Homo-oligomer: A and B are copies of this chain.
């Protein structure tokens, strides 16, 4: 491999970089990018990434509380109690919800308590209603003994003061907002969302909202890529459609890289446009091109570059290839720049399915195959490959998901069990 990350074969020709290697070159290059933080109100922090370790400011709960409806007791008083040998306790009080209990549970006595009620002084366990039999207004039989701490949640049992509540890099899911709300934390420090510039290139492309004159086509990649970025929480700016002129392209790309963390341009599938993309990225500054061309189908002609901490992706013009490159390269890069510590550490969820036909693949490259899923009578899923050219956006719209055929495998047989990643 040459210093610029370009793999060459023995004759000095540029050869294709394997997908995993390209991803690791990209993520290593971005690993030390400084990330910015900002403060965010709790409800607005959903799906943001927390940017510093957070310790609990208090004990949760602040007081021991009952987790059952029943009677607050001294556990020792119930020792040995059973249906054949119940113990008798006098009802000496009642815990009102939302109030500090008055008085104290003394030996041989108990307080009526509901779920969530504060444990009164003197008591150390709760006997469930179901394990008691009323004798009269003031007396119960306890038919099952309880140990200390049974049927209650202790002070700090959920989380202790000064113990770690959430770690830096943690995605704030609904339950995490719940935890922070429980601790009274109204504002959190989160990473700024990455800024992404999107531009389409090519003299044949017009904005999708316009009616294309003969010879031109509507821009498909711009809106698709913007939506993919928005789903990851990125702030997207549309830089429109740039002509194939090198000067215009350079000026727009220069502005886009100075204003964003990531720049996506698409459309450079022709040799001319690819060369232009490469020249312009090299001209923008160091380190320049990281990867050009990967052993992937579809998606081979991707160019990946870096200039002053801004990642630049030259995505293929074909919509399917562009989206595949987004999933494999732009997605982990954006997640890294959003503050997720190990975005390549793939815990990507999948469904199991059975392939419905033989499918070929060339050795030495990673194939991504789009599939539709069909429910079978035995509740398993059948994966039916969606055939069609990589210029065909409808094949992506028909696909429920995709699977991989790795570099070492030359095709898969019908009935093979595969892992399908959902496009949902």
Chain A residues within CB distance 8 Å of chain B? 42-43, 46-47, 60-63, 65, 67, 69, 97-101, 114-118, 129, 153, 157-159, 165-166, 171, 173-179, 181-184, 186, 202-205, 208-209, 211-212, 214-228, 230-231, 244, 269-272, 317-319, 323, 345, 347-351, 373, 375, 381, 388-397, 399-400, 421-424
Asked if A202 meets B323 with Cβ closer than 8 Å, knowing A67-B391, A158-B394, A349-B422, the reply is no
Residue from A69, A221, A397 having most chain B Cβ neighbours under 10 A: A397
> What's the Cα separation between A392 and B212 when bound, in Å?
58
| A218 near B182: Cβ-Cβ < 8 Å | yes
Residue from A97, A178, A345, A423 having most chain B Cβ neighbours under 10 A: A178
Query: 16 other contacts beyond A98-B203, A158-B393, with CB at 8 A cut-off?
Result: A67-B389, A115-B270, A158-B392, A159-B392, A165-B397, A171-B424, A175-B224, A177-B224, A181-B208, A182-B218, A183-B218, A184-B208, A184-B209, A347-B351, A347-B424, A349-B351
Interface residue from B177, B226, B317 paired with A115 (Cβ < 8 Å): B317
Can you spell out 9 A-B residue pairs with CB atoms less than 8 angstroms apart? A43-B223, A65-B391, A98-B215, A116-B217, A173-B424, A174-B223, A178-B224, A182-B220, A349-B349
| B389 near A204: Cβ-Cβ < 8 Å | no
> What's the Cα separation between A224 and B175 when bound, in Å?
6
Asked if A269 meets B219 with Cβ closer than 8 Å, knowing A43-B226, A182-B208, A224-B178, the reply is no
Q: Which residues in B have their C-beta under 8 angstroms from that of A63?
A: 214-215
Asked if A178 meets B393 with Cβ closer than 8 Å, knowing A98-B204, A217-B61, the reply is yes
> What's the Cα separation between A323 and B351 when bound, in Å?
23
Q: Which 5 A-B pairs have the closest CB atoms?
A: A349-B349, A178-B224, A174-B227, A181-B208, A98-B204
Least CB distance from A234 to B in Å reads 12
Q: Which residues in B have their C-beta under 8 angstroms from that of A202?
A: 97-98, 116
| A46 near B230: Cβ-Cβ < 8 Å | yes
Q: Which residues in B have their C-beta under 8 angstroms from that of A318?
A: 67
Question: Which residue from chain B places its CB closest to the CB of A210 in the assembled complex?
Answer: B184
Interface residue from B157, B391, B397 paired with A179 (Cβ < 8 Å): B397
Interface residue from B153, B394, B397, B400 paired with A389 (Cβ < 8 Å): B153
Q: Which residues in B have their C-beta under 8 angstroms from that of A212?
A: 62
Least CB distance from A299 to B in Å reads 14
| B184 near A211: Cβ-Cβ < 8 Å | yes
Q: Which residues in B have their C-beta under 8 angstroms from that of A153?
A: 389, 391-392
> What's the Cα separation between A269 and B212 when bound, in Å?
62
Interface residue from B99, B223, B348 paired with A215 (Cβ < 8 Å): B99
Asked if A394 meets B231 with Cβ closer than 8 Å, knowing A171-B424, A204-B116, the reply is no
Least CB distance from A148 to B in Å reads 15
Q: Which residues in B have their C-beta under 8 angstroms from that of A423?
A: 173, 175
Q: Which residues in B have their C-beta under 8 angstroms from that of A62?
A: 212, 214, 217
Q: Which residues in B have their C-beta under 8 angstroms from that of A230?
A: 46
Asked if A181 meets B223 with Cβ closer than 8 Å, knowing A118-B215, A270-B115, the reply is yes
Asked if A317 meets B114 with Cβ closer than 8 Å, knowing A181-B208, A182-B393, A244-B97, the reply is no
Residue from A171, A182, A318, A348 having most chain B Cβ neighbours under 10 A: A182
| A223 near B177: Cβ-Cβ < 8 Å | yes
Question: Which residue from chain B places its CB closest to the CB of A163 in the assembled complex?
Answer: B394
Q: Which residues in B have their C-beta under 8 angstroms from that of A174?
A: 223-225, 227-228, 231, 323
